[in-house]
Amino acid sequence: MHIVVCAKQILDPETPASAFRIEGDRVVPAPGIAPVLSQFDAIAAEAALRVKEARPVGDRITVLSLGESGAAAIKQVLAMGADEGVLLQDAAFEDGDSHGTALALAAAIRKLGDVDLVVCGRQAADWDQGQVGLLIAESLDWPIVTVAQSVEAISDADLRVRRVLDDGFETVEVGLPAVVTVSNELGAPRYPRLPQLMAAAKKSVAAWSAADLGLATGDVGAAGARLRLARLARPTHESQVEMLTGTAEEQAAALVARLRADGVL
């Protein structure tokens, strides 16, 4: 079985909002804040590794990432135990939206040829759009199972996936090839073993351009974007304090009245 993991390097979501500046339609982080692998993608890698480890040896995991900063994401997934990495790198990909990204990834998956399963995070932890996995499936015309809590290959051609629902779980089976997006309920991604980390650092990663993938420049990147940015703003948090006076009973009554008025009660 050949499994593909899609991984994205993002601005550190734990950076306090105050450390970002907004310049035009771009977010500029404070210097010294390093990008990190999107947590959901690390979980996708974990899911792929679990599938591989539960099966007889011989499966392969390839990690795909798009954009220059993706190289670090690929290294990290390789360190976790993936076998190969491919970086989709081209000026044409810059400033693309989910659609363009999915198009490029799907083209790469097609180019790899023998892929049985694609695992993505349920969403990237920066913009939280949750589109790319779905659009890859759409583009490949494969079935997709979203928000997985566990993924298990029941045969060479079938997968059993437990999905997270609002009020419980649902187990579905799907024939391969297919796309699965995973959720954090799957569990923490593994910590890389050092020998693997060192080997990953030495592994060479293939780089494919838009032309390698047979994509026209107009389809991807800024040119192919279907999403228009309307406004970009930093969230502001405001708090107001109102002191209630009077005896304890009066204060309690006033508090209830206020909460009712604000529609909290």
Binding of other proteins by 34 (CB under 8 A): yes
Pairwise CA distance, residues 185 & 40, whole Å: 10
Binding of other proteins by 12 (CB under 8 A): yes
Question: Would you give the binding string for other proteins spanning residues 196-215, x where CB under 8 A is met?
Answer: -xx-----------------
Q: Which of 57, 194, 230, 241 binds other proteins (CB under 8 A)?
A: 194
Q: Which of 195, 214, 218, 235 binds other proteins (CB under 8 A)?
A: 195
Q: Which of 85, 100, 192, 224 binds other proteins (CB under 8 A)?
A: 192
Residue 152 Cβ vs other proteins, minimum distance, rounded to whole Å: 22
Total of residues contacting other proteins (CB under 8 A): 21
Annotate the chain with DSSP letters as a single string: -EEEEE--EE--TTS-GGGEEEETTEEEEPTT---EE-HHHHHHHHHHHHHHHTS-TT-EEEEEEESTTHHHHHHHHHHHT-SEEEEE--GGGTT--HHHHHHHHHHHHHHH----EEEEESS-TTT----HHHHHHHHHT--EEEEEEEEEESSSSEEEEEEEETTEEEEEEEESSEEEEE-GGG-PPPPPPHHHHHHHHHS--EEE-TTTTT--TTTSHHHH---------------------SSHHHHHHHHHHHHHHTT--
Binding of other proteins by 134 (CB under 8 A): no
Binding of other proteins by 16 (CB under 8 A): yes
Binding of other proteins by 193 (CB under 8 A): yes
Q: Which of 19, 134, 207, 223 binds other proteins (CB under 8 A)?
A: 19
Binding of other proteins by 30 (CB under 8 A): yes
Q: Which of 23, 24, 32, 113 binds other proteins (CB under 8 A)?
A: 32
Our CB check for other proteins shows the closer of 52 and 99 to be 52
| Contact positions vs other proteins (CB under 8 A) | 12, 14, 16, 18-19, 30-34, 36-37, 188, 190-195, 197-198
